[in-house]
Amino acid sequence: MIFRPSREDMKLIGWGIGRVILGIGIIMTVPLVVAVVSTEWNVVLDFLVGITACVTFWLVAENTCHVKKDLTWFHGLIVASAGWLFAMGFGAIPHFLSGHFKSYLDACFDLMSGYTTTGLYLLQDLDHVAYGTNMWRHLLSYAGGQGIIVIALTFLFAGTAGAFKIYASEGKEEKLLPNVIRTARAIWMISLTYLVVGSFFLWLGLMWGGMAPGRGFLHSVWLFMGAWSTGGFAPQSLNLLYYHSFIIEMITLGIFVIGSFNFALHYSVWTGRRTEVFKNIEVRSFAITSLIATFMLSIGFGKMGLYTSLTEFFRKGFYNLVSGHTTTGNSTVFSTSFFGEFGFIAMCAITIAMAIGASACSTGGGLKGLRMGIFTKSLWGDIRRLVSPESSVIMEKVHHVHDIWLDDALVKGTMLIIISYVVIYSVGGLLGTIYGYSPSVAFFDATSAGSNTGLSAGLTTPLMPALLKVYYIFEMWAGRLEFMSVFALFGMGIALVKGRRTGTR
Amino acid sequence: MEEGISRGNEQSRWRRWGGYALGILIESATVIAISLAALLLMFLIKAIMT
């Protein structure tokens, strides 16, 4: 039996979404200021329209949906999942008005790609985009990396006892500090510190390469935001290839690998538990899977006779592999090179690395290192059980900030999420194949969308079928929220139609 | 006494930010170590295959 949500439940959800949309409106003031300073008056108008729409929605939600009740898990899940969809719709307004998109659907695609730190884009003529619009692209990726719910929690949900429920519903279950609002602020403190440090080094690197200080400053901030959030956006259509700079590639590589680490890990290492980085299951898992994928990539390149010098091998091979593994999507080759030059084995290596993805509670996506660790350890536990005497009790544990003992519920939950990822990757790949794309290209781009990576083998363009665009938006959204909130939203849809009327939750 | 408290706060702020800087260095060293291991692996495979 399933219960239909009451009117009060719907009001509470509407109120929460209103707060999230207000957060989006507040973030839009940054590109607005950049547009004013750059005297891009058309862009100023685009953002004024966007901000007005967000504030109007918030005012309506605040005045019509406010109820004296706290959020439950159900409300938190729905606010997170539906909040991202509403945020996509409102955030796409300035994008669509910029004139760089074929349709509103394309603008929504780029918005979801930015929020979920994917990095795929359908924007046209990227090399001539206004500073304000470019700032918006990178900022929403940076903000989405921390989680748009985290932003709302930091500023707009203070004093709400149900705050943890919406925080956890966004795919982040870890509390760095006992209080969830302070956890959200700690996440921001880490990200902002790295923003200053990372952008500074990038700025030096760009000026060393001959870029003017003013333009170099903007590029350094945008490159940092794209890399740290593991979004992979860059201000030029050639992505990292535009800079032809070994220094910039190495700095961005460092930024996106560190950005793909768990925020709980950052906090532990920063606050005195220095050895955590060596013991943590996610770092170990990342190191091992990176080396296995590097092995595959090297064999693939060797067979194809690609990149004869070791430096090129590293810059074109390892860089793109790790960019895929951390679900970033920054690239030092043309997108067509993955299919046209890399060959099947190297492409498989990158696809597998993308599917595995980064750390839990980080800016990255994919199955996550923690789940790979739990899966591997539980498999090892089963093997040990098979070869041990029947009376022996065998328990496995993983180390992530503290020791976690593996029980059936944890393994079952982990497997459910892993299967969900595999299903969305596979359906996307099959859909692309049905539309006539090469299977390796279709599965590469579908895995890239579902794992929130952003590397493309050439399928993702404004000319791709509309149904594939919608499916990729779904993949990006479901993959970023790690399914539970999405399942809850579908469940609510069914409950609204078929549910039994009852009191409030 | 107020001066003492203020100096204590100042010291603890420096210690905290020193800890953050050390954290950044450790994380960067981890990335360099993984990259060097991958580079070595690439070199070995390249040497074997040619």
Amino acid letter, A214: G
What is the C-alpha separation between A87 and A484, in angstroms, rounded? 19
At residue A443, the pLDDT reads 94
What is the C-alpha separation between A217 and A481, in angstroms, rounded? 33
Dump the DSSP string for A443-466.
HHHHHHHHTT----SS--STTS-H
Which range among A5-9, A87-91, A175-179, A276-280 shows the weakest confidence by mean pLDDT?
A175-179
| Chain B residue numbers touching A290 (CB-CB < 8 A) | 34, 38
More confident residue, A323 or A307: A323
User: What is chain A's mean pLDDT, rounded?
Assistant: 87
- The residue of B27, B39, B40 whose CB has the most chain A CBs within 10 angstroms, and thus the best one to mutate to test that interface, is B27
Evaluate if residue A284 carries a pLDDT over 80: yes
More confident residue, A362 or A303: A303
What is the C-alpha separation between A355 and A358, in angstroms, rounded? 9
* CB nearest A302 (choices: B28, B32, B49): B49
Using alpha carbons, select from A503, A486, A480 the residue that is nearest to residue A171.
A480
What is the C-alpha separation between A407 and A417, in angstroms, rounded? 16
* A369 confidence band (pLDDT: 50, 70, 90): confident
Residues in chain A: 505
| Chain B residue numbers touching A317 (CB-CB < 8 A) | 42
- The residue of B22, B28, B31 whose CB has the most chain A CBs within 10 angstroms, and thus the best one to mutate to test that interface, is B31
Tens of pLDDT, residues A327-348: 998 999 988 888 888 888 999 9
| Chain A residue numbers touching B15 (CB-CB < 8 A) | none
- The residue of A269, A288, A313 whose CB has the most chain B CBs within 10 angstroms, and thus the best one to mutate to test that interface, is A269
* CB nearest B38 (choices: A278, A294, A299): A294
Q: Which residue of A has its CA nearest to B27?
A: A258
Contacts of A455 (CB under 8 A, 6+ apart): A119, A232, A320, A323, A324, A329, A331, A335, A338, A350, A354, A444, A448
Evaluate if residue A3 carries a pLDDT over 80: no
Tens of pLDDT, residues B1-47: 566 666 667 778 888 889 889 999 999 999 999 999 999 999 999 88
Tens of pLDDT, residues A464-474: 999 999 999 99
At residue A481, the pLDDT reads 83
Q: Which residue of A has its CA nearest to B36?
A: A314
Q: Which residue of B has its CA nearest to A284?
A: B34
At residue A505, the pLDDT reads 53
Contacts of A156 (CB under 8 A, 6+ apart): A19, A20, A22, A23
* CB nearest A283 (choices: B23, B30, B35): B30
Query: Are the beta carbons of A310 and B27 separated by less than 8 Å?
Result: no
Evaluate if residue A118 carries a pLDDT over 60: yes
Domain count, chain B: 1
At residue A488, the pLDDT reads 81
Tens of pLDDT, residues A158-175: 555 555 555 555 555 565
Share of chain A above pLDDT 70, in %: 92
* A318 confidence band (pLDDT: 50, 70, 90): very high
What is the C-alpha separation between A65 and A472, in angstroms, rounded? 32
Query: How distant is the Cα of B13 from the closest Cα of chain A, in angstroms?
Result: 12
Dump the DSSP string for A260-301.
TS-HHHHHHHHTT-TTHHHH-HHHHHHHHHHHHHHHHHHHHH
Q: Give the pLDDT mean for A204-214.
A: 94
Q: Give the pLDDT mean for A4-13.
A: 84
Evaluate if residue A176 carries a pLDDT over 70: no
What is the domain range of residue B13? 1-50
- The CA-based angle A217-A223-A229, given to 5 degrees, is 130
